[in-house]
Amino acid sequence: MERSVNVIIVPDHKTQCKARELGQQLADNFENYYTLADTTCIPHTTVYQAQYPAKNFERIKTAIIATSKSCKPFEVYIGPYQNHHGYIWWNILQNKNLTELHMQVLKKLNPLRESLLLPSLTPTAYTTGEKFTKEEAENVKNYGAVVVDKLFQPHVTLAKLKDSDATEAELYEILGKVECKFRVSEIAIGELGDYGTVVRILEKFPMKNSRK
């Protein structure tokens, strides 16, 4: 048996509400597969998602607990929009603490997937170059994920549009310039739904010296 696992951070309530508002604006203006206006989708930032043998789930938890205990809470800033193959990203500005967290999780969890790929990442899709750049294909081969390692760009996905050609200018015209910041004080494991959505939080792990 296999299991899809998404290691994530979840923005605070204020930022989640703003993300849902932006999702609703996208839903009002574009045909879509989903937006964060759908309350079954949980706003989140992916640290690392991959496919694992189900037998390794407890080892995954142990690795995340160890990581969370070694990391102190930190703040991130979120603002620019990006259309990534139809996924509308609300990007987090590059942040040393978040990048270091990503690399720790990547290093510990990648071996546990035992070379499995997420169902959406079929070998043909990345080896033929039909969907991915050379760098993205290498990441799929090495890590079972695309936006990792040197290509890591933390973000909150607001929507998956059917119009993959929506420009950054169009997004700003519709959404306006919206910036937020939030404090990261825990790591979570999310259950993956369609299109990389997170539909349920399975467990949360507080960071070192975090306060509720």
pLDDT in tens, 59-83: 999 999 999 999 999 999 999 999 9
Q: Within 10 Å of residue 65's Cβ, how many Cβ atoms? A: 14
* pLDDT tens-digit series, residues 18-40: 999 999 999 999 999 999 999 99
Q: What is the mean pLDDT of residues 129-151?
A: 87
Per-residue pLDDT band for 126 (boundaries 50, 70, 90) equals low
**Predicted local distance difference test score (pLDDT) of residue 98:** 96
- Tokens matching residue 96: 């040393």
- Tokens matching residue 177: 């310039």
Domain 2-122+153-202 has CATH 3.30.230.70: no
Spell out where 116-177 has E strands.
155-161
